Amino acid sequence: MATNEKRFRIGSVKYLNAAPLTRDLESELVLSTPARLAEMLRKDELDAALVSITEVLFNDRYDVLDGIAIASLGEVYSVILAHRKPLEEMKEIYCDTASLTSVNLLKVLLAERGLKPEFKPLENYGIAWEKDFVLLIGDPAIDFQRAKHGHEVFDLGAAWTELTHLPFVYAVWALRRGLENKALRRELREAKRFGLDTLDYLIETREEYDENFRRDYFEWHISYDLGEDAKRGIAKFCELLRKHNLGTVYEPKYVS
């Protein structure tokens, strides 16, 4: 990895899906939830963080590192609405409080179906099985699906691609604007390159779940590229957020 004189403050999520983007950065990282990382970025307590795409779209104060994302084309497996009743009967949804993008993505997907339920915070993961409608993300969503449950699963990645025929971008590297960060950008690009070059090692040595699941998850469900199709997915998400009056949306500013 390239060395740099300044030690940058870098934040990332704790979830399995971030592992290939943070190879060889582990000792430097501040690990937290997407919501907490966004809060730290807003307070300038971090120089860069792997945050929910909505943090960038709703706050015109970041640059987005081009070429890197956590995205999916089709089923993502780790962003789900678990439901025991038909979607048309929902009045309220309990949401993982760690989530930012997933709540807004679900609002868009449901609004496109003419549904506008009330969103409430999920007090803890232990009661997710008790709820008729619950939104889960990251490792807790994987845990839920791999355990015995009586819910049907509405996969938000699959629903998005079915609606738009585009990838969905969940998270990007957001960089604090106005900071000289050429070395930081190089460091993050090199971490991704190293992570993808050693993906087999990650699949074989990570301790979450079993090796077959890890291989399927990394190679089938998650994409780490922010290319033209992914950017079109972001643009479509912006369009639908505006259509359904879900907030003031800013165009992302990409830097290489």
- Domain assignment present for residue 109? The answer is yes
Q: Which of 115, 145, 164 is the last residue of a domain?
A: 164
Q: Are residues 249 and 200 in the same domain?
A: yes
- b vs e for 119-158, b when ≥16 Cβ sit within 10 Å of the residue's Cβ? beebeebeebeebebbbbbbbbbbebbeeeeebebbbbbb
Q: Are residues 125 and 235 in the same domain?
A: no
- Domain assignment present for residue 2? The answer is no
DSSP 42: H
Helices (H), the chain: 34-42, 53-57, 101-111, 138-146, 156-164, 182-197, 199-205, 211-216, 228-243
Using the predicted structure, report yes or no on whether residue 1 has a pLDDT greater than 50. Answer: no
| pLDDT score recorded for residue 100 | 79
Number of folded domains that form the chain: 2
Q: What is the mean pLDDT of residues 217-224?
A: 95
Q: What is the CATH number of the domain that holds 189?
A: 3.40.190.10
Q: Are residues 153 and 210 in the same domain?
A: no
Q: How confident is the model at residue 37 (pLDDT cuts 50, 70, 90)?
A: very high
Domain that holds residue 97: 79-164
Q: What is the mean pLDDT of residues 171-199?
A: 95
Q: What is the mean pLDDT of residues 31-40?
A: 90
| pLDDT score recorded for residue 250 | 97
Q: Are residues 183 and 151 in the same domain?
A: no
Q: Are residues 113 and 84 in the same domain?
A: yes
Each residue's pLDDT tens digit, 142-159: 999 999 899 999 999 999
Q: Are residues 83 and 160 in the same domain?
A: yes
- Domain assignment present for residue 117? The answer is yes
The rounded distance, in Å, linking the Cα atoms of 235 and 166 is 10
Q: Are residues 67 and 91 in the same domain?
A: no
Each residue's pLDDT tens digit, 194-206: 999 999 999 999 9
Q: Are residues 218 and 172 in the same domain?
A: yes
- Domain assignment present for residue 4? The answer is no
Q: Which of 164, 197, 227 is the last residue of a domain?
A: 164
Instruction: Assess contact for 70 and 171: CB atoms under 8 A.
Output: yes
Query: Rounded mean pLDDT of the chain?
Result: 94
- Domain assignment present for residue 3? The answer is no
Q: Are residues 156 and 32 in the same domain?
A: no
Q: How confident is the model at residue 228 (pLDDT cuts 50, 70, 90)?
A: very high
Using the predicted structure, report yes or no on whether residue 3 has a pLDDT greater than 60. Answer: no
* Percent of the chain whose pLDDT exceeds 90: 88
Helix (H, G, I), strand (E, B) or coil at 27: helix
| pLDDT score recorded for residue 159 | 98
Using the predicted structure, report yes or no on whether residue 2 has a pLDDT greater than 50. Answer: no
Instruction: Assess contact for 121 and 94: CB atoms under 8 A.
Output: yes
Q: What is the mean pLDDT of residues 224-252?
A: 97
Q: Which of 142, 164, 186 is the last residue of a domain?
A: 164
Please, is 162 exposed, middle or buried when counting C-beta atoms within 10 Å of its C-beta (0-12, 13-18, 19+)? exposed
Q: Are residues 180 and 231 in the same domain?
A: yes
Q: Are residues 84 and 58 in the same domain?
A: no
- Domain assignment present for residue 5? The answer is no
Q: For residue 195, give the nearest of 50, 20, 16 by alpha carbon.
A: 20
Using the predicted structure, report yes or no on whether residue 4 has a pLDDT greater than 50. Answer: no
Using the predicted structure, report yes or no on whether residue 5 has a pLDDT greater than 80. Answer: no
Using the predicted structure, report yes or no on whether residue 106 has a pLDDT greater than 90. Answer: yes
Q: How confident is the model at residue 98 (pLDDT cuts 50, 70, 90)?
A: confident
Q: What is the mean pLDDT of residues 20-33?
A: 91
Each residue's pLDDT tens digit, 119-134: 999 988 989 999 999 9
Count CB neighbours of 239 within 10 A.
13
Instruction: Assess contact for 72 and 167: CB atoms under 8 A.
Output: yes
**Strands of the 118-121 sheet, one edge to the other:** 118-121, 92-95, 133-137, 79-83, 152-155
Q: Are residues 200 and 157 in the same domain?
A: no
